[in-house]
Amino acid sequence: MTPALSGFGLGMRRPHYASFTGGEAPVDFFEVISENFMVAGGRPIDTLMRAREHYPVALHGVSLSVGSADGPHPDYLDRLKILVDRIEPAVVSDHLCWTGTGAFNSHDLLPVPLTGEALDTVCEAIDRAQTHLKRRMLFENPSTYIEFPGTMPEWEFLREMVRRTGCGLLLDVNNVFVTASNHGLDPRDWLGGLPLDAVGQIHLAGHSQGAHGLIDTHDAAVDPAVWALYAETIARTGPLPTMIERDGDIPPIDDLLAELALARATVPA
């Protein structure tokens, strides 16, 4: 039976594998990047299965590419379904983005122009993915650095995406802060426009100051302003499964657990 996702977790990254496979990490769940484990067998699957014995797992993809004109690749969906059926994750998620076309993968989360035509493309792709996997998925709000002319607000796009496909949202609070800040908007107003009742999981991460705005880098501690926005989020939604993402300059696991304790302290008992 697939366990539900609840509580507080971390992304399982290579320096901390032993803590998860041994069941020693004091977390309620862990998350992995789906593509790292979409293989037939070997050490990656063995590591994931051993950690899965101790905790619920969330699969978080970066290459479904729902914003691409040709949509998710059938081979990708087949390999993802094999992994999903094998480990029975509590959550399967990806991003509102496109990553490439055909055989080309940019390995980056490229922005979707928030137009009606793009909305049709994204919703069709989500419908195909959810039908193939036979389960509801969550999709993460992106960090964005440019604006396309003649587009709708991101929160309006996400609301309609949820309504039309029945998918849920993975709310990245850092991305809300980064995107709103880059576009000169109040992150609290941005948050208020989102369909918060569709949120099934929350991400927290760090960002960096770039030459022309904030960059979602996942290589630093969660910023105090993002912690404040997380508190505002929880006040509006109530408790939701929350995790810390760290993908660069990865510190000892105790440092991440200290951050996770801040998230626990933010949620009313």
Q: What is the DSSP letter of 69?
A: T
Structure tokens at 40: 């037939």
Q: Is 102 left (phi over 0), alpha (psi -120 to 50) or beta?
A: left
Average of per-residue pLDDT across 178-196: 92
Strand partners, 49: none
How many angstroms separate the CA atoms of 206 and 221, rounded? 5
Q: What is the mean pLDDT of the chain?
A: 92
Which sign does the torsion angle of CA 172, 173, 176, 178 carry? negative
Domain boundaries, the chain: 8-266
How many angstroms separate the CA atoms of 36 and 174, rounded? 23
- pLDDT band at residue 1 using 50, 70 and 90 as cut-offs: very low
Amino acid found at 125: A
Average of per-residue pLDDT across 191-208: 95
* CATH (one of 3.90.1640.30, 3.20.20.150, 3.40.50.720, 3.40.50.1220) for 8-266: 3.20.20.150
Residue 214 has pLDDT above 70, yes or no: yes
Closest CA to 203 of 263, 145, 265: 263
Percent of the chain scoring above 70 in pLDDT: 96
Average of per-residue pLDDT across 17-26: 97
More confident site: 3 or 8: 8
pLDDT for res 120: 97
Closest CA to 173 of 201, 133, 138: 201
Strand partners, 256: none
Predicted confidence (pLDDT) per residue in 119-174, tens digit = 999 999 999 999 999 999 999 998 888 887 778 999 999 999 999 999 999 999 99
Which sign does the torsion angle of CA 100, 97, 245, 34 carry? negative
Predicted confidence (pLDDT) per residue in 107-126, tens digit = 667 789 999 999 999 999 99
